[in-house]
Amino acid sequence: MSADTVISARKLTKRYGDVLAVDRLDLDVRRGEIYGFLGRNGAGKTTTIRMLLGLIHPSKGEVRVLGHLADGGDTGWLGRVGFLVETATAYPNLTVWENLEIQRRLTGSEPDAVRRVIDQLGLDAYADRRAGRLSHGNLQRLALARALLHRPDVLVLDEPTNGLDPAGIVEIRKLLRSIADEHGVTVFMSSHILPEVAHLADRVGVIGGGRLLEELSRKELFERARTLVESKYTEEQRAEALLSMQLERYFLQVTGGVA
């Protein structure tokens, strides 16, 4: 594992009885990059993430995060990781501010951390609203705020834009790009939506059937899509929509199924 590698997986395998959820997966995520982990539902994305965070033990292989074995006895490295896995949750009878204040005290974050993440995630209008009354999209924002509260070195996100409207997706995209570029945070994000990953990630790993099928840089991904279409559109939005369609077609070709 090189000094520039933040997340490393070697022959990572997870089996549930007769079901092989993750199959001999090798992975290297570099410091300060946004890595898009792309696959259809059931491809093995969440199982992989749970092993990266030490939430479940691999059947074979190993994972190292920040140089530490994810399923080893030392858990101190988790304090340098922020994460959102599967469903966003919160204490429903507490306000957004109260939920974040509890997290701040648990992580020992600075006194102004709650204000900082509320501003980052656009939650100011909801700060005094009980979490149980939030829309799904704003609950997702709250979960992201909790993950960012302690200024992590690594951010692991499972479908981070799930439930957000188009404007919210653009805001989260800008936020993730800024924390990677300006603060050197490594972002590992999974998604089943190829255009969203393609417009944000520095590199994209395509997973299917629990195996890493292909890995490409953003430039390589768009070049691959451009070989499939010659566009005569001049309007930026229409051209982007057409390219997105071709990216989806490429995704289906690689994974061999329906997204």
**pLDDT over 60 (residue 234):** no
The model carries a pTM of: 0.83
**pLDDT over 90 (residue 44):** yes
Contact status, residue 109 vs residue 149, Cβ threshold 8 Å: yes
Q: What percent of the chain has pLDDT over 70?
A: 85
**Eight-state DSSP code of residue 187:** E
For helices 166-183 and 136-148, the axis angle rounded to 10 degrees is: 10
SS3 149: coil
Round to whole Å and give the CA distance between 36 and 198: 8
What is residue 219's predicted lDDT score, i.e. its pLDDT? 86
**pLDDT over 70 (residue 9):** yes
Query: What integer is the mean pLDDT of 190-197?
Result: 85
Contact status, residue 186 vs residue 32, Cβ threshold 8 Å: yes
Read off the pLDDT of residues 84-119 as tens digits, 9 standing for 90 and up. 987 788 999 999 999 999 999 999 999 999 999 999
Read off the pLDDT of residues 164-174 as tens digits, 9 standing for 90 and up. 888 888 888 88
What token pair was written down for 121?
Answer: 């995630």
Round to whole Å and give the CA distance between 144 and 235: 34
Q: Which amino acid is at 163?
A: G
SS3 35: strand
Residues 6+ apart with CB under 8 A from 152: 80, 81, 82, 185
